[in-house]
Structure 1
């Protein structure tokens, strides 16, 4: 049964890094990052939140198309409201796939440090998304997201929490794979 693996967590926590590691070690898996999809839409920097809604619809459609081929989808995407994940749960169900949510987390101070540490990134998509967050308060926004995730988690009893604070990406990756019940493949 294919799976839609949702890696949730605050900006800078390592979702994209873990998603890429998973895809690199699992042939056929689609790394479907809504942040990358939103950047395909012209003018996204000026109308981020409106454009993001369209990108979520596109992401859900892409996830469904790929799940129907029988392969997994890994989706590194922040979600702080149940309404944000329901469309993806529905797509997975429609495709006969399993929806798995894993929350990557760390103490609020660590999450803020990681986000602030990305300021020097050369990746245009990450920089563009981070610019939107910095315009809305930067680390204060990450603190708010952290609080929203804390309130969100009790609503998601099947969500698996994987701590990332002070850990190497390989250790976090191994915990994610273990949470999925899959063997850890190559390092």
Structure 2
């Protein structure tokens, strides 16, 4: 049983890879914290509190699914300590292996993917500018460099590399 954290900037392919993995490994759970946050009332007015609540809910859902013996994939942009460590501790608590993967396919590819997102994607509080996207990319890259066991995937088609990193 695996707990897989997919970190990356918007447009890096986190959610797409999480869904692809879950579809190929049923009944794995693709646990998108942003979708959980979108269900919390007042999330725009209380963004910080909503984000913390969404992460707490996600950890509880992951614990339930892992305890039942099933894989969980969490696609989430992380650029500071805290949540990755919580997920790593949860994996240890439930006997799951923990896999932390940063998706960094290059800024140009990330921009292309982000521009191609459909309108049904989870909205951000404010629209992202090119500068915001570049800054998010750099923050994720810098954070991933501080995580000694994190794998960094730079492939445009990251799914085969993802599977290889899990063995």
Report the equivalent of 1:178.
164
C-alpha deviation, 1:110, in angstroms: 2.7
The one-character-per-residue Cα deviations of 1:92-116 (angstroms, maximum 9, x if unpaired) are: 1111111111111122233233223
Would you say 1:50 and 2:49 are equivalent positions?
yes
If the length of structure 1 is used for normalisation, what is the TM-score?
A: 0.82
Would you say 1:111 and 2:97 are equivalent positions?
no
Report the equivalent of 1:141.
132
The structure with the greater share of residues assigned to helix is 1
Write the distance in 2 (CA, Å) between the matches of 1:99 and 1:127. Answer: 26
- Where in structure 1 are there 5+ consecutive unaligned residues? 182-187
**CA gap 1:73/1:103 in 2 versus in 1, 3 angstroms:** same
**CA gap 1:127/1:70 in 2 versus in 1, 3 angstroms:** closer
C-alpha deviation, 1:127, in angstroms: 4.2
- Give the 5 Å matches for 1:17-96: 17-96=16-95
Write the distance in 2 (CA, Å) between the matches of 1:27 and 1:106. Answer: 27
1:150 to 125, 141, 156: 141
If the length of structure 2 is used for normalisation, what is the TM-score?
A: 0.92
Number of residue-to-residue matches in the alignment? 167
The more displaced of 35-44 and 45-54 is 45-54
Report the equivalent of 1:122.
119
Write the distance in 2 (CA, Å) between the matches of 1:178 and 1:102. Answer: 12
C-alpha deviation, 1:172, in angstroms: 1.6
Write the distance in 2 (CA, Å) between the matches of 1:111 and 1:71. Answer: 30
The one-character-per-residue Cα deviations of 1:22-56 (angstroms, maximum 9, x if unpaired) are: 11111110110101111111122333332111100
- Match of 1:106, SS state, is coil
RMSD of Structure 2 on Structure 1 (CA): 1.6
- Where in structure 2 are there 5+ consecutive unaligned residues? none
Write the distance in 2 (CA, Å) between the matches of 1:122 and 1:94. Answer: 38
